[in-house]
């Protein structure tokens, strides 16, 4: 390991990386490895935190919360604005760090820094707009007020696929609302979380108001975060099975929860669509982060009479996507996070081929190494195949066929998930009917990239509860308090 380039990088790329527990950076004898998925090199050894560490972080967050919620909205806003500036100033280092620990190409990692920072900027502004209301009174002797208060200590459990943005999307609104946060980052990508926390402290977030509890096996830390009564809110992003487990654990103390869970996004192409635009949208929505995003297209649904033309154009484009280490120029498909992720893509392909699908490009892992996978297009895919029901989370584009709008909407909704959906058509009646028919929290119409800090992000059905980003995202970290003033 030799990454002493800058103070920020060297603070997390070393053999003895501390966790942030309350106001202290805590080294631990027990540590776990963080590896580069592209090279399998060990990048760092990070503190293995215990249930006791988690309780200490919660205690510190509770204490810090008593004063942080009394800091004026304008001051909280200024602190967040300073955090935004620091993240922006360190964009190159943070991007490099993400490429090292997560694998995404450097250009995408830079994009994530911008996207992640945008939540801090937005909620710095929104902190000043956390308003209440006066309501009409039922009696002349009374006045009715509704106040918004911070919910209290927030636990943030985050996934590895967006190591930076999933943290800022939770912490920025929480801190803006006057809450304090204990973060449990994914075991594969704790380094970006630790670097972000350093910058938050530097920006003036008070000690104790942000902790990062790192652990390689999350269950013990997770159980404390979900069951400790001092934690009043869990904001989780990750898979649906884990989300369900955490929801059950949170029931014992009736915590507020936000759940950003898995998806199975359909991408519908109608026969009047601009096919070139659809292919462009398909590449953006399917192959970003090597297909490892929750809003990634999982199923292409294409109308009969343009099916062959779409498959041909998509295949042609996918063949040009360069696979390799994300630090290399022109690479657009980095490694998958681990060998298990590669096995899942291969299993979906083998299952589909066994049931009659054909590979039009890709289909196997390239020589680059066993965490890489060639972007793949599958034609002749049917609903009996595993790809129809499971989230692949890799660079696989299965193309299904439909004949009319009713069938397209029925196929699109035939899943327990409801996160993101996309469709391409230029017919305004199809736009309205499809928009209204889709049971999804987010819909892209003639657009493959929909995420922005300005809009509410979240899913229906088993894709989750609550929304992140936009002014709706601030509400999730507040409680309403109704006050009835009498005696007038
Ligand atoms: P995951 O559910 O395995 O892990 C997510 C987080 O939960 C990690 O920090 C992990 O350590 C922690 N965790 C796992 N088991 C736990 C337990 N028993 N107790 C407490 N914490 C536990 O998911 P992942 O593999 O990191 O991420 C991929 C999944 O996340 C995909 O399903 C993807 O769709 C989903 N995701 C959703 C969104 C969204 O906004 N809806 C965004 C990104 C990813």
Same domain, 467 and 429: no
CA distances from 203 to 99, 207, 462 (A): 24, 11, 37
Phi, psi (deg, nearest 5) at residue 94: -65, -40
Nearest alpha carbon, ligand 1 atom 18: 219
Contact 239, 417 (CB under 8 A): no
Closest CA to ligand 1's atom 42: 294
In a domain, 454, yes or no: no
- Are 378 and 429 within one domain? yes
Contact (CB, 8 A) for 228 and 52: no
Would you say residue 205 lies in a domain? yes
Considering only CA atoms, which residue is closest to atom 41 of ligand 1? Answer: 260
Q: Which atom of ligand 1 is nearest to the CA of 159?
A: 26
CA 386 to chain centre: 24
pLDDT of residue 326: 96
Ligand 1 centroid from CA 169, angstroms:
15
Nearest atom in ligand 1 to the alpha carbon of residue 262 is 34
Same domain, yes or no: 244 and 376: no
For residues 178 and 157, what is the distance between their CA atoms, to the nearest angstrom? 19
What's the Cα-to-Cα distance from 221 to each of 9, 56, 61, 166, 422, rounded to whole Å? 26, 11, 15, 19, 37
86 domain residue, yes or no: yes
* 277, 232: one domain: no
**Atom number in ligand 1 closest to CA 294:** 34
pLDDT value of residue 379: 98
Show pLDDT as tens, one digit a residue, over the chain (488 residues).
445 579 999 999 999 999 999 999 999 999 999 999 999 999 999 999 999 999 999 999 999 999 999 999 999 999 999 999 999 999 999 999 999 999 999 999 999 999 999 999 999 999 999 999 999 999 999 999 999 999 999 999 999 999 999 999 999 999 999 999 999 999 999 999 999 999 999 999 999 999 999 999 999 999 999 999 999 999 999 999 999 999 999 999 999 999 999 999 999 999 999 999 999 999 999 999 999 999 999 999 999 999 999 999 999 999 999 999 999 999 999 999 999 999 999 999 999 999 999 999 999 887 766 799 999 999 999 999 999 999 999 999 999 999 999 999 999 999 999 999 999 999 999 999 999 999 999 999 999 999 999 999 999 999 999 999 999 999 999 999 999 999 99
Residue 457 in domain: no
Give me the pLDDT at residue 2, please. Answer: 46
Please state whether the predicted TM-score (pTM) of the whole model is above 0.95: yes
Q: Is residue 125 a contact partner of residue 172, using CB atoms and an 8 Å limit?
A: no
Residues 310 and 375: their CA atoms lie apart, in Å, by: 16
Catalytic residue among 48, 62, 101, 260: 260
Question: At a CB cut-off of 8 Å and minimum separation 6, what does 93 contact?
Answer: 5, 6, 8, 9, 195
**In angstroms, rounded to a whole number, what is the distance separating the alpha carbons of residues 389 and 401?**
15
Residues 210 and 318 in one domain: no
Q: Which atom of ligand 1 is nearest to the CA of 187?
A: 11
* Residue 1 in domain: no
Assess if residue 199 is contained within a domain: yes
Task: Give the C-alpha distances (Å, rounded to integers) separating 94 from 81, 87, 117, 257, 292.
Answer: 18, 8, 11, 29, 19
CA of 243 to the centre of ligand 1 (A): 7
What is the tally of structural domains in the chain?
Answer: 2
Task: Point out the ligand 1 atom lying closest to the alpha carbon of residue 464.
Answer: 41
Q: 193 alpha carbon to ligand 1 midpoint, in Å?
A: 15
The span from the CA of 140 to the CA of 487, in Å, is: 9
Q: Ligand 1 centroid to 4 CA: how many Å?
A: 30
Question: What was the ipTM of the complex prediction?
Answer: 0.95
Return the best residue to mutate from 238, 261, 263, 338 for the ligand 1 pocket (most ligand atoms within 8 A of CB).
238
The pLDDT tens digits for 146-196 are 999 999 999 999 999 999 999 999 999 999 999 999 999 999 999 999 999
Residue ranges making up the domain that contains 153: 7-261+463-483
Task: Report how far ligand 1's centroid is from the alpha carbon of 383 (Å).
Answer: 26
- Comparing CA positions, the residue from 376, 383, 324 lying closest to residue 345 is 376
**Separation of alpha carbons 378 and 385, rounded Å:** 11
**32 burial type by CB count under 10 A (0-12 exposed, 13-18 middle, 19+ buried):** middle
Concerning whether 260 is annotated as a catalytic residue, the answer is yes
Ligand 1 binding site (Cβ under 6 Å of any ligand atom): 157-162, 184, 186-187, 218-219, 222, 237-239, 242, 245-246, 260-263, 294, 391, 419, 459, 464
Q: 237 phi and psi, to 5 degrees? A: -125, 125
Q: What CA–CA distance (Å, rounded) separates 402 from 434?
A: 14
The span from the CA of 274 to the CA of 16, in Å, is 54
Indicate if 138 and 202 belong to the same structural domain: yes
Nearest atom, ligand 1, residue 158 CA:
9
Judge if 152 and 282 occupy the same domain: no
Using CA atoms, how far apart are residues 46 and 26, in angstroms rounded to an integer?
10
The minimum-distance atom of ligand 1 relative to the CA of 162 is 43
DSSP 403: S
Residue 444 and residue 265 in contact, taking contact as beta carbons nearer than 8 Å: no
Please give the Cα distance from 32 to 219 (Å, whole number): 15
By most ligand atoms within 8 Å of CB, the mutation choice from 159, 192, 228 for ligand 1 is 159
Interval between CA 242 and ligand 1 midpoint (Å): 7
Q: What is the CATH number of the domain that holds 382?
A: 3.40.309.10
CA of 94 to the centre of ligand 1 (A): 21
Residues 257 and 294 in one domain: no
In a domain, 217, yes or no: yes
Q: Which pLDDT score is estimated for 79? A: 98
- What gap in Å lies between CA 292 and CA 289, rounded to an integer? 5
CB 355 within 8 A of CB 382: yes
For residues 241 and 339, membership in a common domain is answered with no
CATH of the domain at 222: 3.40.605.10
For ligand 1, mutation pick of 158, 191, 239 (most atoms within 8 Å of CB): 239
Residue nearest ligand 1's atom 22 by CA: 218
Which residue CA neighbors atom 10 of ligand 1 most closely?
A: 186
> Hey, whose CA ends up nearest to atom 40 of ligand 1?
260
Q: Alpha helix locations (H) across 127-228? A: 165-177, 190-203, 219-227
CA-based nearest residue to 213, from 160, 156, 296, 263: 156
Segment (H or E) for 38: none
Ligand 1 center to 159 CA (angstroms):
5
Contact call for residues 371 and 335 (beta carbons, < 8 A) = yes
In a domain, 456, yes or no: no
Contacts of 150 (CB under 8 A, 6+ apart): 65, 69, 177, 178, 179, 477, 478, 479
Closest residue to atom 39 of ligand 1, CA basis = 260
CA 103 vs CA 148, 327, 402: distances in Å: 41, 8, 35
Using alpha carbons only, give the angle 356, 357, 362 rounded to the nearest 5 degrees.
145
Whether residue 276 sits in one domain with residue 399: yes
CA of 392 to the centre of ligand 1 (A): 14
Same domain? 44 vs 172 = yes
Q: What pLDDT does residue 4 have?
A: 54
Statement to judge: residues 256 and 340 lie in one domain: no
Nearest CA to ligand 1 atom 11: 186
């Amino acid at each position: 390991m030799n990454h002493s380039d800058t103070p920020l990088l060297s603070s997390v790329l070393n053999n003895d990386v501390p966790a942030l527990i309350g106001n202290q950076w805590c080294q631990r004898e027990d540590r776990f490895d963080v590896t580069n998925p592209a090279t399998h090199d060990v990048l760092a050894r990070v503190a293995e935190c215990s249930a006791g560490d988690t309780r200490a972080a919660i205690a510190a967050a509770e204490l810090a919360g008593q004063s942080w919620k009394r800091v004026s909205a304008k001051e909280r806003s200024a602190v967040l604005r300073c955090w935004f500036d620091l993240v922006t100033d360190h964009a190159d280092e943070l991007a490099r760090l993400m490429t090292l620990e997560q694998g995404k190409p450097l250009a995408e990692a830079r994009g994530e820094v911008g996207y992640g920072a945008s939540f801090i900027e937005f909620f710095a502004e929104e902190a000043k707009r956390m308003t209440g209301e006066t309501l009409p009174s039922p009696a002349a002797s009374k006045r009715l007020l509704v106040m918004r208060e911070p919910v209290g200590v927030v636990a943030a459990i985050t996934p590895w696929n967006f190591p930076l943005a999933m943290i800022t999307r939770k912490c920025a609104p929480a801190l803006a609302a006057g809450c304090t946060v204990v973060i449990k980052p994914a075991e594969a990508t704790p380094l970006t979380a630790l670097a972000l926390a350093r910058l938050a402290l530097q920006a003036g977030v008070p000690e104790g108001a942000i902790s990062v509890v790192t652990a390689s096996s999350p269950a013990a830390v997770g159980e404390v975060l979900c069951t400790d009564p001092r934690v009043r809110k869990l904001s989780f992003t990750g898979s649906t099975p884990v989300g369900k487990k955490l929801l059950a654990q949170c029931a014992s103390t009736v915590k507020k929860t936000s759940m950003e869970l898995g998806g199975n996004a359909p991408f519908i192409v109608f026969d009047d669509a601009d096919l070139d635009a659809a292919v462009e949208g398909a590449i953006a929505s399917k192959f970003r982060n090597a297909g490892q995003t929750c809003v990634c297209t999982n199923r292409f649904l294409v109308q009969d009479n343009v099916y062959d033309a779409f498959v041909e154009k998509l295949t042609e484009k996918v063949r040009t996507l360069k696979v390799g280490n994300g630090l290399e120029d022109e690479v657009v498909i980095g490694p998958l996070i681990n060998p298990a992720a590669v096995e899942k893509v291969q299993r979906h392909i083998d299952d589909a081929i066994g049931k009659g699908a054909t590979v039009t490009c890709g289909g196997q892992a390239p020589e680059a190494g066993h965490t890489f996978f060639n972007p793949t297009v599958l034609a002749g895919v049917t609903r009996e195949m595993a790809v129809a029901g499971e989230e692949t989370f890799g660079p696989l584009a299965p193309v299904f066929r439909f004949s009319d709008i009713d069938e397209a909407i029925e196929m699109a909704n035939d899943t327990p998930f409801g996160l993101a959906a996309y469709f391409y058509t230029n017919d305004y009646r199809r736009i309205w009917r499809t928009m209204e028919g889709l049971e999804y929290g987010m819909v892209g119409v003639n657009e493959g990239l929909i995420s922005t800090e300005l809009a509410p992000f979240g899913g229906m059905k088993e894709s989750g509860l609550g929304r992140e980003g936009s002014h709706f995202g601030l509400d999730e970290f507040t409680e309403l308090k109704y006050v009835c003033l009498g005696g007038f």
